[in-house]
Amino acid sequence: MRPKRPVTATVMALSVVAFVIAVASLAKKIANYNENELPARAYFSPVVDEHFVFGLNEVKFSEETSENDQVYVNVSFGDESLRIRETIPNELDFLPDLRRYEDWLRVYRFVLVKGMSGKDAMQGILDDTLDDRLVIVVRTPPPGTDHRTWGEVWNNGWMFDLYELKESGEIVHERLAYPSKRRGNEPPKEGELLEGTWQYDAAMTSIPPVSRPKPQFDNDASLEFGWDFMLAGVAGVVFALAAAFFFAPKRVTEEDLKTQAG
Protein backbone atom coordinates (compact mmCIF):
# COMPACT_ATOMS: atom_id res chain seq x y z
CA MET A 1 0.00 0.00 0.00
CA ARG A 2 1.29 3.47 -0.87
CA PRO A 3 1.97 5.54 2.25
CA LYS A 4 -0.16 8.61 2.91
CA ARG A 5 1.85 11.79 2.49
CA PRO A 6 -0.59 14.73 2.67
CA VAL A 7 2.10 17.40 3.09
CA THR A 8 3.99 16.25 -0.01
CA ALA A 9 0.76 16.06 -2.00
CA THR A 10 -0.12 19.60 -0.95
CA VAL A 11 3.30 20.86 -2.03
CA MET A 12 2.86 19.17 -5.42
CA ALA A 13 -0.55 20.75 -5.89
CA LEU A 14 0.66 24.22 -4.91
CA SER A 15 3.68 23.97 -7.23
CA VAL A 16 1.40 23.01 -10.13
CA VAL A 17 -0.83 26.02 -9.44
CA ALA A 18 2.19 28.33 -9.22
CA PHE A 19 3.61 26.92 -12.46
CA VAL A 20 0.32 27.43 -14.31
CA ILE A 21 0.04 31.04 -13.07
CA ALA A 22 3.63 31.79 -14.12
CA VAL A 23 3.24 30.23 -17.56
CA ALA A 24 -0.02 32.11 -18.15
CA SER A 25 1.74 35.37 -17.27
CA LEU A 26 4.63 34.56 -19.59
CA ALA A 27 2.27 33.71 -22.43
CA LYS A 28 0.44 37.01 -21.96
CA LYS A 29 3.72 38.94 -22.03
CA ILE A 30 4.89 37.17 -25.19
CA ALA A 31 1.58 37.78 -26.98
CA ASN A 32 1.59 41.45 -25.95
CA TYR A 33 5.20 41.89 -27.05
CA ASN A 34 4.60 40.26 -30.44
CA GLU A 35 1.54 42.42 -31.01
CA ASN A 36 2.77 45.78 -29.81
CA GLU A 37 6.56 45.82 -29.44
CA LEU A 38 7.96 43.90 -32.39
CA PRO A 39 9.33 46.21 -35.10
CA ALA A 40 8.09 46.04 -38.66
CA ARG A 41 9.69 43.18 -40.57
CA ALA A 42 11.08 43.29 -44.10
CA TYR A 43 10.04 40.77 -46.73
CA PHE A 44 11.90 40.54 -50.02
CA SER A 45 10.88 39.48 -53.50
CA PRO A 46 13.81 39.02 -55.94
CA VAL A 47 13.81 40.83 -59.28
CA VAL A 48 15.55 39.19 -62.22
CA ASP A 49 14.31 41.29 -65.15
CA GLU A 50 16.81 43.69 -66.69
CA HIS A 51 14.10 46.13 -67.73
CA PHE A 52 11.01 47.01 -65.69
CA VAL A 53 9.06 49.93 -64.27
CA PHE A 54 9.13 51.04 -60.66
CA GLY A 55 6.82 53.86 -59.68
CA LEU A 56 6.84 56.26 -62.63
CA ASN A 57 10.38 55.45 -63.74
CA GLU A 58 11.91 52.80 -65.95
CA VAL A 59 14.73 50.69 -64.54
CA LYS A 60 17.27 49.33 -67.02
CA PHE A 61 20.34 47.18 -66.42
CA SER A 62 23.10 46.80 -68.99
CA GLU A 63 26.62 45.39 -68.98
CA GLU A 64 29.81 47.13 -70.04
CA THR A 65 33.38 45.83 -70.30
CA SER A 66 36.28 48.29 -70.11
CA GLU A 67 39.54 48.09 -72.05
CA ASN A 68 41.24 46.24 -69.19
CA ASP A 69 38.39 43.66 -69.13
CA GLN A 70 36.76 45.09 -66.00
CA VAL A 71 33.01 44.44 -66.07
CA TYR A 72 30.51 47.08 -64.98
CA VAL A 73 26.77 46.89 -64.56
CA ASN A 74 25.08 50.13 -65.57
CA VAL A 75 21.75 51.00 -64.01
CA SER A 76 19.44 53.62 -65.48
CA PHE A 77 16.64 54.86 -63.24
CA GLY A 78 14.69 57.79 -64.60
CA ASP A 79 17.15 60.69 -64.76
CA GLU A 80 19.59 58.94 -62.41
CA SER A 81 22.23 56.32 -63.23
CA LEU A 82 24.67 53.99 -61.50
CA ARG A 83 27.89 52.36 -62.69
CA ILE A 84 28.58 49.35 -60.48
CA ARG A 85 31.91 47.54 -60.74
CA GLU A 86 31.74 43.74 -60.79
CA THR A 87 33.18 42.50 -57.48
CA ILE A 88 33.19 38.74 -58.18
CA PRO A 89 34.07 37.37 -61.66
CA ASN A 90 30.98 36.15 -63.44
CA GLU A 91 30.68 32.43 -64.18
CA LEU A 92 26.98 32.48 -65.06
CA ASP A 93 27.13 34.05 -68.52
CA PHE A 94 24.63 31.53 -69.85
CA LEU A 95 21.80 33.12 -67.85
CA PRO A 96 19.84 35.76 -69.77
CA ASP A 97 18.86 38.00 -66.84
CA LEU A 98 20.10 39.44 -63.54
CA ARG A 99 20.62 35.97 -62.10
CA ARG A 100 24.03 35.86 -63.79
CA TYR A 101 25.22 38.43 -61.22
CA GLU A 102 23.70 36.77 -58.18
CA ASP A 103 27.09 35.92 -56.63
CA TRP A 104 27.58 39.60 -55.89
CA LEU A 105 24.53 41.62 -56.97
CA ARG A 106 20.88 41.14 -56.03
CA VAL A 107 17.81 43.26 -56.71
CA TYR A 108 14.75 43.12 -54.45
CA ARG A 109 11.36 44.63 -54.15
CA PHE A 110 10.52 44.67 -50.46
CA VAL A 111 7.97 45.80 -47.92
CA LEU A 112 8.14 46.68 -44.24
CA VAL A 113 5.03 45.32 -42.55
CA LYS A 114 3.85 44.52 -39.05
CA GLY A 115 1.49 41.75 -38.04
CA MET A 116 1.46 40.15 -41.50
CA SER A 117 2.66 36.74 -42.59
CA GLY A 118 5.46 36.36 -45.09
CA LYS A 119 3.10 34.71 -47.57
CA ASP A 120 0.65 37.62 -47.46
CA ALA A 121 3.48 40.13 -47.75
CA MET A 122 4.89 38.39 -50.83
CA GLN A 123 1.45 38.27 -52.41
CA GLY A 124 0.97 41.95 -51.67
CA ILE A 125 4.21 42.74 -53.52
CA LEU A 126 3.20 40.64 -56.52
CA ASP A 127 -0.32 42.11 -56.60
CA ASP A 128 1.03 45.63 -56.05
CA THR A 129 -1.39 46.13 -53.16
CA LEU A 130 1.36 47.15 -50.72
CA ASP A 131 3.66 50.16 -50.90
CA ASP A 132 6.89 48.40 -51.78
CA ARG A 133 10.44 49.63 -52.15
CA LEU A 134 13.32 48.71 -54.44
CA VAL A 135 16.93 48.02 -53.47
CA ILE A 136 20.10 46.84 -55.18
CA VAL A 137 22.47 44.92 -52.89
CA VAL A 138 26.12 44.64 -53.92
CA ARG A 139 28.53 42.43 -51.95
CA THR A 140 32.25 43.14 -52.08
CA PRO A 141 34.67 40.57 -50.61
CA PRO A 142 38.06 41.65 -49.21
CA PRO A 143 40.61 42.55 -51.90
CA GLY A 144 42.75 39.68 -53.09
CA THR A 145 40.55 36.88 -51.77
CA ASP A 146 39.61 33.82 -53.76
CA HIS A 147 35.84 34.00 -53.78
CA ARG A 148 35.50 30.30 -54.66
CA THR A 149 37.44 29.02 -51.64
CA TRP A 150 38.52 30.78 -48.44
CA GLY A 151 37.23 34.14 -49.65
CA GLU A 152 33.69 32.91 -49.11
CA VAL A 153 34.53 31.94 -45.54
CA TRP A 154 36.26 35.16 -44.60
CA ASN A 155 32.96 37.02 -44.35
CA ASN A 156 34.14 39.48 -41.68
CA GLY A 157 35.77 41.50 -44.45
CA TRP A 158 32.68 41.74 -46.65
CA MET A 159 31.21 45.11 -47.50
CA PHE A 160 27.66 45.72 -48.69
CA ASP A 161 26.55 48.62 -50.87
CA LEU A 162 22.80 49.19 -50.74
CA TYR A 163 21.25 51.38 -53.41
CA GLU A 164 17.61 52.16 -52.72
CA LEU A 165 15.72 53.40 -55.76
CA LYS A 166 13.00 55.71 -54.50
CA GLU A 167 9.72 56.15 -56.34
CA SER A 168 10.56 59.87 -56.50
CA GLY A 169 13.46 59.02 -58.82
CA GLU A 170 16.17 59.48 -56.19
CA ILE A 171 18.88 56.89 -55.45
CA VAL A 172 20.02 56.58 -51.82
CA HIS A 173 23.33 54.80 -51.21
CA GLU A 174 24.58 53.19 -47.97
CA ARG A 175 27.82 51.25 -47.50
CA LEU A 176 27.84 48.94 -44.49
CA ALA A 177 30.17 46.22 -43.24
CA TYR A 178 29.37 42.65 -42.31
CA PRO A 179 28.50 42.67 -38.57
CA SER A 180 31.36 41.74 -36.25
CA LYS A 181 30.90 39.42 -33.29
CA ARG A 182 29.62 41.02 -30.10
CA ARG A 183 29.74 39.81 -26.52
CA GLY A 184 26.76 40.18 -24.24
CA ASN A 185 25.39 43.72 -24.31
CA GLU A 186 28.30 45.11 -26.29
CA PRO A 187 26.89 47.79 -28.65
CA PRO A 188 27.23 47.32 -32.43
CA LYS A 189 30.07 49.10 -34.17
CA GLU A 190 29.34 52.14 -36.29
CA GLY A 191 29.26 51.46 -40.02
CA GLU A 192 28.17 47.83 -39.63
CA LEU A 193 24.91 46.14 -40.54
CA LEU A 194 22.58 46.22 -37.55
CA GLU A 195 20.31 43.29 -36.79
CA GLY A 196 16.64 44.29 -36.84
CA THR A 197 16.97 46.75 -39.75
CA TRP A 198 15.83 46.21 -43.31
CA GLN A 199 19.39 46.85 -44.48
CA TYR A 200 20.60 43.91 -42.42
CA ASP A 201 17.82 41.68 -43.72
CA ALA A 202 18.51 42.71 -47.33
CA ALA A 203 22.21 41.88 -47.00
CA MET A 204 21.57 38.57 -45.24
CA THR A 205 18.97 37.58 -47.85
CA SER A 206 21.58 38.08 -50.58
CA ILE A 207 24.10 35.59 -49.14
CA PRO A 208 23.93 31.83 -48.41
CA PRO A 209 22.38 30.92 -45.02
CA VAL A 210 25.64 29.29 -43.90
CA SER A 211 27.38 32.68 -44.17
CA ARG A 212 24.90 34.55 -42.00
CA PRO A 213 25.92 35.48 -38.43
CA LYS A 214 24.21 33.95 -35.44
CA PRO A 215 21.28 36.01 -34.12
CA GLN A 216 22.10 38.19 -31.13
CA PHE A 217 18.63 37.72 -29.56
CA ASP A 218 18.78 41.18 -27.97
CA ASN A 219 15.32 42.24 -29.10
CA ASP A 220 12.73 39.65 -28.18
CA ALA A 221 10.02 38.92 -25.64
CA SER A 222 12.46 37.26 -23.24
CA LEU A 223 13.61 40.75 -22.22
CA GLU A 224 10.20 41.23 -20.60
CA PHE A 225 10.47 38.16 -18.37
CA GLY A 226 10.69 38.74 -14.62
CA TRP A 227 9.20 37.15 -11.51
CA ASP A 228 7.01 34.85 -13.60
CA PHE A 229 10.01 33.26 -15.31
CA MET A 230 11.74 32.61 -11.97
CA LEU A 231 8.50 31.34 -10.43
CA ALA A 232 7.99 28.86 -13.28
CA GLY A 233 11.49 27.50 -12.78
CA VAL A 234 11.22 27.22 -9.02
CA ALA A 235 7.76 25.64 -9.22
CA GLY A 236 9.04 23.05 -11.68
CA VAL A 237 11.95 22.09 -9.41
CA VAL A 238 9.73 21.94 -6.32
CA PHE A 239 7.19 19.75 -8.13
CA ALA A 240 9.91 17.35 -9.26
CA LEU A 241 11.33 17.00 -5.74
CA ALA A 242 7.89 16.64 -4.17
CA ALA A 243 6.90 14.01 -6.71
CA ALA A 244 10.09 12.06 -5.96
CA PHE A 245 9.19 11.96 -2.26
CA PHE A 246 5.50 11.28 -2.88
CA PHE A 247 6.06 8.26 -5.11
CA ALA A 248 9.04 6.90 -3.16
CA PRO A 249 8.39 3.47 -1.57
CA LYS A 250 7.70 3.31 2.14
CA ARG A 251 10.80 2.82 4.29
CA VAL A 252 10.89 -0.66 5.86
CA THR A 253 11.45 -0.65 9.63
CA GLU A 254 12.36 -3.46 12.05
CA GLU A 255 8.75 -3.62 13.24
CA ASP A 256 7.59 -4.15 9.65
CA LEU A 257 10.05 -7.00 9.25
CA LYS A 258 8.89 -8.60 12.53
CA THR A 259 5.26 -8.24 11.49
CA GLN A 260 5.97 -9.88 8.15
CA ALA A 261 7.92 -12.69 9.85
CA GLY A 262 5.19 -13.29 12.42
| Per-residue pLDDT reduced to its tens digit, 70-126 | 999 999 998 999 999 999 887 777 788 999 999 999 999 999 887 777 788 888 877
Say if residue 202 is in the same domain as residue 236. no
- Separation between Cα atoms, residue 160 and residue 178, nearest integer Å: 7
Under DSSP, is residue 155 helix (H, G, I), strand (E, B) or coil?
A: helix
Domain boundary among 218, 235, 252: 218
- The answer on 228 and 212 residing in a single domain is no
Q: Say yes or no: 63 and 185 in one domain.
A: yes
What number of CA atoms fall less than 13 Å from residue 256's CA on the CB side? 5
Give every CB contact of residue 246 below 8 A, 6+ residues apart in sequence. 5, 8, 9, 12
Together in a domain, 144 and 126 = yes
Q: Please, what sign has the CA dihedral across residues 86, 92, 93, 96?
A: negative
For residues 140 and 262, give the distance between their C-alpha atoms in angstroms, rounded to a whole number: 90
Please check whether residue 9 lies inside any domain of the structure: no
Give CA separation, 176 vs 71, 103, 139, 209, in Å.
Answer: 23, 18, 10, 19
Residue 23 resides in a domain: yes
pTM above 0.85, yes or no: no
Whether 4 is in a domain gets the answer no
Do 151 and 106 sit in the same domain of this protein? yes
Q: Do 170 and 248 belong together in one domain?
A: no
Assess contact for 200 and 193: CB atoms under 8 A: yes
What b/e readout covers 207-237, taking b as 16+ CB neighbours within 10 angstroms? beeeeebeebeeeebeeeeeebbebbeebbe
- Residues 243, 14 contacting (CB under 8 angstroms): no
Q: Is residue 210 part of a domain?
A: yes
Q: Are residues 227 and 244 in the same domain?
A: yes
Q: Are 117 and 229 in the same domain?
A: no
Residues of the domain holding 71: 40-218
Q: What is the pLDDT of residue 232?
A: 73
**Are the C-beta atoms of residues 256 and 26 closer than 8 Å to each other?**
no
Could you tell me if 110 and 43 are in contact, meaning their C-beta atoms sit under 8 angstroms apart? Answer: yes
Q: Tell me: do 125 and 242 sit in the same domain.
A: no
CB 71 within 8 A of CB 132: no
**Digit-coded pLDDT (tens) for 134-152:** 999 999 988 766 666 555 5
Whether 148 maps to a domain, the answer reads yes
Domain assignment present for 57? yes
Partners of 84 in the β-ladder: 73
When divided into structural domains, the chain yields a total of: 2
Is the domain of 26 the same as that of 136? no
Pair 173, 231 in one domain: no
Q: Where are the beta strands (DSSP E) in the chain?
A: 41-46, 51-54, 57-65, 71-77, 80-85, 105-113, 133-140, 159-165, 171-177
Q: Is residue 159 very low, low, confident or very high in pLDDT (cuts 50, 70, 90)?
A: very high
pLDDT for position 262: 53
Would you say residue 123 lies in a domain? yes
- The answer for residues whose C-beta is within 8 angstroms of residue 199's C-beta and 6 or more apart is 160, 162, 174, 176, 193
Say if residue 136 is in the same domain as residue 172: yes
pLDDT in tens, 22-54: 778 767 766 666 555 557 788 999 999 999 999
Residue 8 in domain: no
Kindly report the number of other CB atoms within 10 A of residue 108's CB atom: 22
220 pLDDT exceeds 60? no
Q: Report the C-alpha gap between 43 and 83 in whole angstroms.
A: 27
